[in-house]
Amino acid sequence: MKYATILLAGIILFSCNAPAQNQNVNAEKFQQHAAEPGVQILDVRTTREYQNGHIKKALQADWLQQDQFKDRIQYLDKTKPVLVYCASGGRSGKAAEWLAQNGFQHIENLEGGFTQWKLENKPVEGMENVIQLTTAEYEKYTKADATVLVDFGAEWCPPCKLMAPVIDAVENELKNKFKLVKVDGGVNTEIMKQLNVAALPTFIVYKNGKEVWRKQGVTEKAELIKQLQ
């Protein structure tokens, strides 16, 4: 009888302390849930990223500045859903975990982040003055020299930052043997769609105006040099 009482108390305690719901959702579900009443949308990118375009009604708290982030988060309602996003899903994933560990009950993280949102032509605010790279401009760059390396990256992309010294090393080793074209993947989503560039960083090599190789993600210096020779 005593065992049954203890067990029942344990069940009640467990039910009163149910874990927070923290899940990844695609852009379509994110958009649907964002339209529901009482939902809080949280952009954890930098102020500059936010100003270059954001989801309607999104609040901004930079995950990379923890003091700012925690200060702004205290004004959110822990009992209401929080839809969180960043540029590609990495920072917002960490922010979602933090929210779950600090009392927020329902958190959804946008898979692929704001980049995926734009790739699916979802509505964006604050991008009126952002000029996209045109197809004609892109072709002009890639056909200008015999060998061209196109680097699709962004300042806010961790693996892109990891690749920056690698690209510098390749340029030093193959001086004047190829042309480097850097494309900001956080802005130029139209050309990304046309070229089926789904993630950052992505590297494409052109020779005599034709694509001969591409690689997504972190790449060894030796592999890049091999493809450029």
- pLDDT tens profile 68-125: 899 889 989 999 999 999 999 999 999 999 999 999 999 999 999 999 999 999 999 9
Q: Is the pLDDT of residue 12 over 80?
A: no
Indicate if 111 and 151 belong to the same structural domain: no
Q: List the single range of 158-162, 163-167, 198-202, 225-229 with lowest mean pLDDT.
A: 158-162
Q: How far apart are CA 96 and CA 83, in angstroms?
A: 9
Tell me: do 28 and 112 sit in the same domain. yes
pLDDT recorded at residue 20 = 66
Instruction: Kindly state whether residues 113 and 32 are assigned to the same domain.
Output: yes
CA 124 to chain centre: 15
Pair (25, 115) in one structural domain: yes
pTM (global) more than 0.85: no
Q: What is the pLDDT of residues 183-192, one digit of tens each?
A: 998 788 889 9
Q: Is residue 198 part of a domain?
A: yes
Amino acid identity of 227? Q
CA angle 56, 185, 213 (to 5 degrees): 150
Catalytic residue list: 157, 160
Banded model confidence at residue 15, pLDDT cuts 50, 70, 90? very low
Residue 34: give the domain boundaries.
Answer: 17-119
CATH of the domain at 217: 3.40.30.10
Give the strand order in the sheet containing 106-110.
Answer: 21-25, 106-110, 82-85, 40-43, 59-60
* Local confidence band at 154 (pLDDT 50, 70, 90 cut-offs): confident
Percentage of the chain beyond pLDDT 90 is 70
- Give the residue with greater pLDDT, 224 vs 153: 224
